[in-house]
Structure 1
Amino acid sequence: MTPPSRTAHRAAAACLVAVAAVTTACSGGSSDDSSASGGSATSAEAPRAAAVEEDGAVLDQAGTAFTANKAEAPEGPDRKVISTGNVALRADDVAKARFDVQEVVDEHGGEVAEERTATDDDGEVERSRLVLRVPSARFDEAVESLTGVAELVDASTTSEDVTTQVLDVDIRVRVQRRSIARIELLLDRAESIRDIVAIEAQLSRRQAALASLEKQQDYLADQTSMSTITVSLERTPKARTVAEEDDDSGFLSGLAAGWDGLSATTVAAATVVGALLPFAAVALLVAVPAWPLLRRLRRRRLAAE
């Protein structure tokens, strides 16, 4: 029977080897630590030489999950595609066209994510820009329906297959979560302060990497489930008639120019009169009481002569 003290020493040694293996696998296994640990260096190099394989993925010496053999993009409905579209339309009544666009969005189970509308001096809608989100499965139908809302100016669509990227991120997330679970288990078994600090540092690093991967996963899920369509609406410019074009150099054009000149002259004369009127009023106030005095002085001069 093995003595109790010997069994405890073996358990402590096994725990230290496991901690060293995890720390080396997470941090890349610095050569200084390996040389300082002496006989445990050989055990610490083991996880670096042979990575752990899980669900078609492995963990490298830095603890980052990556696909050993990248899965090829599946065909058919399992493909993940990010689709975007741009539709430019013209309409005599932009407000009505905007209402028709909303009907198309509702029909295809989408939503208006962003909208900017401009009006003219009379308060009528002159142009509008809408950013639509529609289910990816109905993207082509929605674009086709939008092109029939009003006069089509331009339409374009782009699609990017991100199936491999989605699979890769999903695998990374699963492997990172399992790695964190194993590190948490080692943290519960650690006894020395040094081991606890080392394991907690690696745990924080793994958790930060997992949070970043989960954000990528959510973004890809949103972009592949809902497609984006940008719709631009503008008012159809009014066509000029032949009579209006002839009037530019005919009688009506000359009459309009003459009237504009007369109006400008009248405005200028009125401006001058308005500027002189205060001076005239002051002169009148001075001249009215002074005029009888001037006449009396003139009579006295004549009488004296």
Structure 2
Amino acid sequence: MTTRTRAAGVLTAFTMTVFLAACSSGASDGGGDASSEAMNDLSAGDSGGATSREFAAAEDATSSLSESGSGSAPASGSGAKVATTPQMERAVIFSGTVSLSSKDVTETRQEVQRIVDAQGGDVTEENTETDEDGDTSYSRFVIRVPSAKFSAAMSALEAVDGVVASNRGSEDVTTQVIDNDVRVRAQEASLKRVELLLAEATSLKNLIWIESQLTTRQAELDSLKSQQSWLTDQTSLSTITVDISAKHTKAVEKKKDDPAGFLTGLSGGMKALSGTLLALATVLGALLPFAVLALVIGLPAWLVVRRRRATPAQAETPTA
């Protein structure tokens, strides 16, 4: 091998080494260039202003950078562990109603309160009504107890004296909870990317467009978080409604047997006499108007008839 051939080989190896080093350096700096180029395209006020297509491209570029920066290469080789997805717990909304009837509503209310305290629950709503005498006639409770103790609380309430009706219900919202959590995380990540673009915006048109996107996505995130809070509250605490109404009983008076004897007979005779006199008084009262009418009409008629009979008798008497 000649000296010229050796020199050509060394030059070729040196050239390849420099080329590979340049490629590696370009790959490591590619993320920053992509973000800068995307932001420059978005901020180009002289080229027609920001558009929805440019905004989407810039957001995708920023999203790719954040994912590549935060992510890590998967482990390879025989010693790598396979990642497993944790099992999601079921999210269930429990609800129940219990109707009670009691002679003493106040005492039953106290017993229900003891059950609620024993199960670690709270009374969130109460409505009480009283009768004319001031006694409690109706009471309604809305109880919130931990979902883990829902069954125990319902069994304790169903064991109270005077249960009229009882009902239990449940609704599985696991899918809704998972979907809502995923949407909240995605919206939070999107909001962070928009805030990053807003900080780098230089054009007024781009600034206005990004701020409108920021407002819209913040409102969507607030709505999703409100739904998330409601689902968390309903699945962690169960709702039980308790109605207590007063039981009305008719008092039946038993007749006492009076002992037989003189006093009993005297009492019976007095009652019979008073009944007879009452009947006679009733008859006299009924006939009295007719008697007055007969007296008013009959007395003048009787006087006229008597005068007529006396006149012929005086006429037949002889004169001396």
TM-score (norm 1): 0.58
Quick check: 1:131–1:230 contact (8 Å CA) kept in 2?
Answer: yes
Aligned to 2:274: none
* Residue type of the alignment partner of 1:82: I
Q: Secondary structure at 1:169's aligned position in 2? A: helix
Aligned to 1:15: 39
Query: Are residues 49 and 207 of structure 1, via their aligned partners in 2, closer, same or farther at CA, if it must alter by over 3 Å?
Result: closer
Quick check: 1:113–1:133 contact (8 Å CA) kept in 2?
Answer: yes
Query: Are residues 193 and 42 of structure 1, via their aligned partners in 2, closer, same or farther at CA, if it must alter by over 3 Å?
Result: closer
* Residue type of the alignment partner of 1:147: E
Aligned to 2:151: 140
Quick check: 2:43–2:203 contact (8 Å CA) kept in 1?
Answer: no
Aligned to 1:126: 137
CA distance in 2, matches of 1:230, 1:219: 19
Pairing of 1:134-213 with structure 2 (within 5 A): 134-213=145-224
Quick check: 2:42–2:206 contact (8 Å CA) kept in 1?
Answer: no
Structure 1 alignment gaps of length 5 or more? 1-9, 21-35, 56-73, 245-305
Q: Secondary structure at 2:160's aligned position in 1? A: coil
Structure 2 alignment gaps of length 5 or more? 1-33, 68-86, 256-320
Match for residue 102 of structure 1 among 113, 126, 149: 113
Quick check: 1:19–1:199 contact (8 Å CA) kept in 2?
Answer: no
Quick check: 2:38–2:58 contact (8 Å CA) kept in 1?
Answer: no
Q: How many residues align?
A: 201
CA distance in 1, matches of 2:121, 2:96: 14
More off after superposition, 93-102 vs 41-50: 41-50
Query: Are residues 12 and 151 of structure 1, via their aligned partners in 2, closer, same or farther at CA, if it must alter by over 3 Å?
Result: closer
| Percent of aligned pairs with the same amino acid | 43
Q: Secondary structure at 2:169's aligned position in 1? A: strand
Q: Secondary structure at 1:195's aligned position in 2? A: helix
Query: Are residues 221 and 195 of structure 1, via their aligned partners in 2, closer, same or farther at CA, if it must alter by over 3 Å?
Result: same
Query: Are residues 147 and 19 of structure 1, via their aligned partners in 2, closer, same or farther at CA, if it must alter by over 3 Å?
Result: farther
Find the structure with the greater CA-based Rg: 2
Aligned-residue CA RMSD (Å): 3.6
Aligned to 1:114: 125
Quick check: 1:19–1:186 contact (8 Å CA) kept in 2?
Answer: no
CA distance in 2, matches of 1:42, 1:105: 58
Match for residue 90 of structure 2 among 69, 72, 79: 79
Q: Secondary structure at 1:103's aligned position in 2? A: helix
CA distance in 2, matches of 1:45, 1:98: 61
Query: Are residues 201 and 48 of structure 1, via their aligned partners in 2, closer, same or farther at CA, if it must alter by over 3 Å?
Result: closer
TM-score (norm 2): 0.55
* Residue type of the alignment partner of 1:101: V
* Residue type of the alignment partner of 1:132: I
* Residue type of the alignment partner of 1:102: Q
Query: CA deviation digits over 1:23-76, x for unaligned, max 9?
Result: xxxxxxxxxxxxx78xx99877769999x7999xxxxxxxxxxxxxxxxxx67x
Query: Are residues 242 and 43 of structure 1, via their aligned partners in 2, closer, same or farther at CA, if it must alter by over 3 Å?
Result: same
